Amino acid sequence: MRYVKWTFWAILALIIGLFLNYTLPQQEVVRVVGTYQERQDLNDWTRIFWATPDDQSGTLANRDVQFIQAIRPNGRPMVYRNEDTGWSWPPYFKFDTASLQTEAEDLKSTSDAPKWAVITHYGWRNELLSSFPNAVAIRAVAGPDVRIIPWFNIVFLIFLLVVGVLLYRMWLQFRERMVDPALEDLGEIYDAAGTRVDAVRKGARGTFGRFGAWLDTWRTKR
């Protein structure tokens, strides 16, 4: 039973961790080398890795998606998609895809004369599933060694922790003030019922006693 419990909590923590890792913004220093636009099929389960820019796009079988090609400081490639999130999940409220594409275009550079930029994005790059992180912002930086402090994530995770502690405290208060007194009342009712059963048992000894006890069952009890 203990293993079941720990497995349950471990899986729950893993799911929450992965969810946050996918959804929260991450920043990465890259060098933009190009942008392109490609028609994407959206009619299988990998649909979950694409955004829903507007209400119509939820039912489309395919649509054009913009991409930003980049090289990381270690020389490895990274490709971002550039899609509106609109009003849907995740709540980035991003509507400036075209502007972002223009900014990325403006920061394009070659390895001979590199221009470095920080791309803020969410999501995962997975070659097997053809999933791409969605770029949400880009800004030019001096070099690949800039120090990035994820202020938003710090504030958000602290907020999440505070909410979690608050909910736990609320539950404790609810149990102390509402559940425990109700259980105590219930216990008293059970105790009273037990005493009554004992009294009936005591009265039901011998033939007449038993008859009297049977008669007694027809009387109203207080």
Partner 1 sequence: MIGFTRVILFWAVAGTIAYFVLRIYGRSLRREALEKSWDANPPPGADAVTRAAFIEKGMADYEGSLRNRLLVIVVVLPFIVIAVLLYLMNYA
> How are beta strands 26-41 and 116-122 bridged, if at all?
antiparallel
Pick the piece of the chain touching partner 1 (CB under 8 A) from 7-15, 40-48, 82-90, 110-118.
82-90
Contact between 67 and 132 (Cβ < 8 Å) = yes
Q: How far apart are CA 197 and CA 144, in angstroms?
A: 82
Task: Give the torsion sign (CA, 36, 95, 144, 112).
Answer: positive
Question: Of 9 and 174, which has the nearer Cβ to partner 1?
Answer: 174
Residue 168 touching partner 1 (CB under 8 A): no
Non-local CB neighbours of 117 within 8 Å, separated by 6+ positions: 29, 30, 31, 32, 104, 107, 138, 139, 140, 141
Residue 120: strand, helix, or coil: strand
37, 62, 126, 173: residue in contact with partner 1 (rule CB under 8 A): 173
Contact between 148 and 137 (Cβ < 8 Å) = no
Residue 54 touching partner 1 (CB under 8 A): yes
> Phi and psi of 116, rounded to 5°?
-95, 145
Pick the piece of the chain touching partner 1 (CB under 8 A) from 5-13, 72-80, 83-91, 109-117.
83-91
CA neighbor of 123 nearest in space, from 51, 66, 60, 52: 51
Residue 175 touching partner 1 (CB under 8 A): no
26, 28, 29, 96: residue in contact with partner 1 (rule CB under 8 A): 96
175, 177, 196, 210: residue in contact with partner 1 (rule CB under 8 A): 177
Restricting to residues 113-142, name those near partner 1 by CB under 8 A: 136-137
Residue 29 touching partner 1 (CB under 8 A): no
Question: Cβ of residue 83: shortest distance to partner 1, in angstroms?
Answer: 13
The footprint of partner 1 on this chain (CB under 8 A) covers a number of residues equal to 19
92, 116, 122, 132: residue in contact with partner 1 (rule CB under 8 A): 92
Residue 188: strand, helix, or coil: helix
Residue 174 touching partner 1 (CB under 8 A): yes
Binding site for partner 1 (CB under 8 A): 54-55, 86-88, 91-96, 99, 136-137, 170, 173-174, 176-177
